[in-house]
Amino acid sequence: MKFGSTMVNSETSYVNGVLSKRRLTPFLVLSETLINQRASEFGSQSDDRSLRSFYAFKANSDPRLIPMMENNGVGFEVSSQSELETLLRRNVSSDNIICSNPIKPPAFIRRAWHAGIDTFVADSVAELDKIQSIAPGSKILVRLEVDNGGSEWPLDKKFGVGQDTAIQILIYANSIGLQADGITFHVGSQCVVLESWDMALREASDLWRKAVLAGIKLNTLNLGGGFPINYDKEVPSVTEILELVSKAVKSLFPKGVRIQVEPGRAMVGQAGTMVSRVIGKSLRGTERWLYLDVGVFNGLMESMGGIRYEFLTSGSGTVVPWVVAGPSCDSVDIVARDVWLPEPEIGDYVFIPSAGAYTTSYSSRFNGCRIPEIYIVTEG
């Protein structure tokens, strides 16, 4: 597959002000305007309270995003005590926080419980026993395993259970004093197949009916995340996915069910551009290698799992294929192959759009590499 570009396009125009200040690279520029637009799109779904959006804070946990979400009626999904503390320090109400991690340290459960969070996700009996011992009487959503074949970052190998196990978990939850309250699933991160949501909703509907037959009253259906963004190809839009969800819920689930979604990548991904510089180049056999000051360890970890970033330059000349690598001494620090660009000079800028999610939040200082600073700009 050929991908890359010889020109910086209008989508990255908001980085110009930051570039003019000669910031050290690599750095990430976030467009406040674009984030607010997407938060408003998700937040508007919450008007009738039958569907609520909770930003998956792990996608990008910069505290400056918190008021943007709150101002647009979007809550937060947290998966760790650290994320929770960040929100609580900024006076986010527990009513606007959910936790969807099926496996939680006891200290996290205890802190969440004392903060007023009374609903947790589980996919094992051991997790239920742990929750009941720390947060007795809590509401429980069971994590249902669904097909992740349409996603570019599958999540079904670590979490989720089949329908037979799921119904037993719901029954057991009620038997020990917890409250079986609903079902959650995740179609996989960056899910590019629209039908994946329909199939998952049908699976959840079957489990819901089994719960009713078992005398269990469920109230909540959490669809997780998975909303995709454009990297190197067009993907289903948020509107398309939510329209499908709305129709499926009306036909498959009882009236009044509470629907939750957890956009992370879709909320901030396309609002971010990673700015890097060329630090080296070489010819290895017949392959041209381009080395950037950002790589898999300090910003582009998802490239190891199949995410295909686009690379933009302002160069001109003959376009040729490159292997793009990061700055560390580790041989796995290869970001992409077959990236078609004109030959750059050392020191030239390379722009990586759609980099607002799962970049800085994944970053480490391995090998002393610089973690990208985040700059938030407002256009207009």
The whole-angstrom separation of Cα 351 and Cα 3 is 13
How distant is the alpha carbon of residue 375 from its chain centre? 20
Q: Which of 99, 191, 329, 369 is catalytic?
A: 329
Q: Before 26, cis peptide (omega within 30)?
A: yes
Query: What phi, psi does 375 have (nearest 5°)?
Result: -120, 130
**CA-closest candidate to residue 199, choices 252, 124, 143:** 252
**CA-closest candidate to residue 102, choices 125, 121, 84:** 121
The H or E element containing residue 39 is helix 32-43
The whole-angstrom separation of Cα 327 and Cα 357 is 21
Residue 164's alpha-carbon distances to 28, 130, 132, 161, in angstroms, are 45, 22, 22, 8
Burial of 285 (0-12, 13-18, 19+ CB in 10 A): exposed
Q: Map 75-129 to HEC letters.
A: EEEECCHHHHHHHHHCCCCHHHEEECCCCCCHHHHHHHHHHCCCEEEECCHHHHH
Structure tokens at 317: 């000349």
Residue 195's alpha-carbon distances to 64, 147, 244, 265, 326, in angstroms, are 35, 11, 9, 19, 36
Structure tokens at 140: 């429980």
**CA-closest candidate to residue 359, choices 312, 295, 311:** 295
CB 357 within 8 A of CB 338: no
Q: Is there a catalytic annotation at residue 329?
A: yes
Residue 298's alpha-carbon distances to 2, 328, 366, in angstroms, are 24, 9, 8
Please list the active-site residues: 329
